Structure 1
Amino acid sequence: MSSAFALIVISAVFHAAWNLLVKTSADKVAYNVHIQVATAVFITSYTVLFFPEAFYFHKPTFIYALLSSFFFALYQHFTAISYKYADVSLVYPITTSSPFFIMIWAYFILDEHVTPFGILGIVLVLAGCYIMNITKGKGNKSGLYGILTALLAAFLYSFGAMADKMGVESVNTHLYIMLMADFMSFYSVLFTIISHRKSVTLHRKVSVPVQWKLVILGGLAMSASTITYRLGLIDMQISYSSALRQLSSLFGVLMGLFFLKESYGLQRIVGSMVIVAGIMLIRLNM
């Protein structure tokens, strides 16, 4: 269990890294698609090189990958859209609310039972994320649209998490991870083409060139986050792992402090302390 805990913490670091790159990109929706494609290429190459024995057809694994990637791609797409209509610091805390939904679905679908102190730990982690990131909103119609889109993203993610847990526990974990990444790439391109259906090509409406260095870095970070999280998820309840993954919020703030020279005031100090307290409770109840 300690190795699963460590893997998910590592995943949170890489998750924060690629989200930081999304924040610095010129066109967030387009960049999200680019790194999804890069991630599919990297993970497929990784699987071919290190786990060639994983290449055989297993119907449940295929179905789980198809379902989880569909909901995760929707989550990524709507999260990127929410960033366009409201401040990241306003909508990001809302996108981290998915563990609330996941805990409910896991109880009924996976028969997971979380202790009262475990629930308190999950609540503290999410509360800490909220405290660290929330700011006064813009107060206009587009800002409200961004908030509602972020909530929709979190809700959709919770369904993907259910299929994700069942997928990593299938007999072919590495095939599942590869298929999930490949399908996510396909869905992301498809959703973007639909939303830009008047475009002949994906980049026709993008006023900036492809940021190749950021795409490669983002693809590597997302690949590392994807793989380490799923390997850790094998031996951990999804109710706990999804909350623990929210450590990415803390790591994201720290990265913003060091790389983007963002401020780290009293609000973020308090939020950090609340997150750490929640993580300690989760660790003690695993």
Structure 2
Amino acid sequence: MTPTAIGLILVSALLHAGWNLIGKRTAQTVRFYAWAMGFGMLLFSPLLIRAWPQVSALPVEFWWLLLASGLCQTLYMSGLAKAYSHGNLNIVYPLARALPVLVVPVVIVLVYGQSQLLPRDVIGMGLIMLGSLALPLVRWRDWHWRNYCTPAIGWVLLAAGATAGYSVLDSAAILIMKREGMSAFDAGSSFVVLQAISCLLWMLPLIRWGFGESLRQLPDLGWTMLAGSFIIGTYLLILVSMSMVSEVSYVVALRQISIPLGVVIGVFWLRESMSPPRLQGLGVMLLGLVLVSV
């Protein structure tokens, strides 16, 4: 992986942990994420207008991928909002980020029939997943499979599965855009705005008829706008980095550096507890991140 791609992913991780803190601290509703996506879309819309002549010429295959990606993003945001309403940031956030590390390579193999991952990468991803399993624990002797059978974990599984879905779909969409002659930045910057639009098309009816929330109640304007800029900005960096790697699994794994950041934020800003199993689990995850990034 190139130093530029690693740098983009690290900055993205900081922004990602930031908007998850905002979502946990200020609002735990799908409505909040809809407003945030809307503000972020408007803020970055000039980037789509700039590249529109090339975007409008993209094949039909691209638009189907975009529509499916918007659905996955909607499920991800919904799962995350509901998980935060049932659990702590230092449990929900790491699990939601770590689970796709194993899911994405499996999907890649099923879709393409091969993978470019090295044995070292597979070991690192396994360590990331193994470390995440310790996060719900307060004491090791309390371990039981029922610890993972809570409403929060159920919503986390939805968010993680959706993350794997949009990661693979978006990688395929970016490849089409590059194949059609678009630069890495033009492809990433225009796609992130289009994806926000697609997400809102799925999210708005779900909020009204699925969750029974009212869009008329505007969340805190300042925090919502900041979260929206972080949501769109962080994924713009990820999409650009996707065009610089041989397989999206590398990006999905390395961006989990945001996991320890999210846990630290939960402890120092939200006053959430840090048990020995959680601390040890984070250490194992960091080792896995090192193996994937070197």
- TM class by smaller structure: 0.7 to 0.9
| Counterpart position of 1:210 | 219
- Structure 1: stretches of 5+ with no match in the other structure: none
Instruction: Check if 1:178 corresponds to 2:188.
Output: no
| Counterpart position of 1:26 | 27
| Counterpart position of 1:144 | 150
Pick the aligned partner of 2:236 from 202, 227, 237. 227
The CA distance in 1 between the partners of 2:67 and 2:43, in whole Å, is 19
- Structure 2: stretches of 5+ with no match in the other structure: none
Instruction: Check if 1:159 corresponds to 2:174.
Output: no
Instruction: Check if 1:71 corresponds to 2:80.
Output: no
Contact 1:72 1:160 in 2 (8 A): yes
- SS state at 1:113 partner: coil
Contact 1:121 1:279 in 2 (8 A): yes
2:172 corresponds to which letter in structure 1? Answer: M
| Counterpart position of 1:38 | 39
Pick the aligned partner of 2:100 from 73, 84, 98. 98
| Counterpart position of 1:254 | 264
The CA distance in 1 between the partners of 2:154 and 2:22, in whole Å, is 23
Contact 2:90 2:266 in 1 (8 A): no
2:244 corresponds to which letter in structure 1? Answer: D
Displacement of 1:229 in angstroms is: 0.5
Question: Aligned residues, how many?
Answer: 274
Q: TM-score, structure 2 length as denominator?
A: 0.82
Instruction: Check if 1:244 corresponds to 2:254.
Output: yes
Contact 1:126 1:243 in 2 (8 A): no
Displacement of 1:122 in angstroms is: 1.1
Displacement of 1:53 in angstroms is: 4.8
The CA distance in 2 between the partners of 1:101 and 1:193, in whole Å, is 31
2:24 corresponds to which letter in structure 1? Answer: K
RMSD: 2.8
| Percent of residue pairs bearing the same amino acid type | 20
Instruction: Check if 1:85 corresponds to 2:95.
Output: no
Contact 1:95 1:151 in 2 (8 A): yes
- SS state at 1:112 partner: coil
Contact 2:28 2:84 in 1 (8 A): no
